[in-house]
Amino acid sequence: MGPVRPRTSGKALEMSGSWTDLQTTETIVLGSALSGVSELNLWFDALAARRSLSARIAHDVKLCLNEAVTNILLHGFDGDPGGQITVSVDLVPAGATAVIRDNGPAFDPLAGPAFVPAEDIASAEIGGLGIRLMQETTDRINYRRDGEINELTLYFGPR
| Cα-based torsion angle of the residue sequence 58, 68, 35, 62 in order, rounded to the nearest 10 degrees | 0
Q: Which phi and psi (to 5°) does residue 24 adopt?
A: -110, -15
pLDDT digits (tens, 9 = 90+) for 93-142: 778 999 999 999 999 988 876 666 767 777 667 666 778 889 999 999 99
Is residue 5 in a domain?
no
Please state, in angstroms and as integers, the Cα–Cα distance from residue 38 to each residue in 33, 34, 47, following that order: 10, 8, 14
Is residue 78 in a domain?
yes
What's the CA angle centered on 135, arms 71 and 149, to 5 degrees?
Answer: 45
Task: Look at the chain and report how many structural domains it folds into.
Answer: 1
Is residue 18 in a domain?
no
Is residue 74 in a domain?
yes
Q: Provide DSSP, 116-147.
A: ---SSGGGPPSS-HHHHHHHHHSSEEEEEEET
pLDDT digits (tens, 9 = 90+) for 47-94: 999 988 889 999 999 999 999 999 999 999 987 889 999 999 998 777
Distance CA 138, CA 123 (A): 28
pLDDT at site 131: 85
Is residue 120 in a domain?
yes
Is residue 13 in a domain?
no
Is residue 68 in a domain?
yes
pTM (2 d.p.): 0.80
Helix (H) or strand (E) holding 25: strand 25-30
Domain that residue 98 falls in: 24-156
What's the CA angle centered on 64, arms 59 and 67, to 5 degrees?
Answer: 125
Is residue 72 in a domain?
yes
For residue 77, give the CATH number of its domain.
3.30.565.10
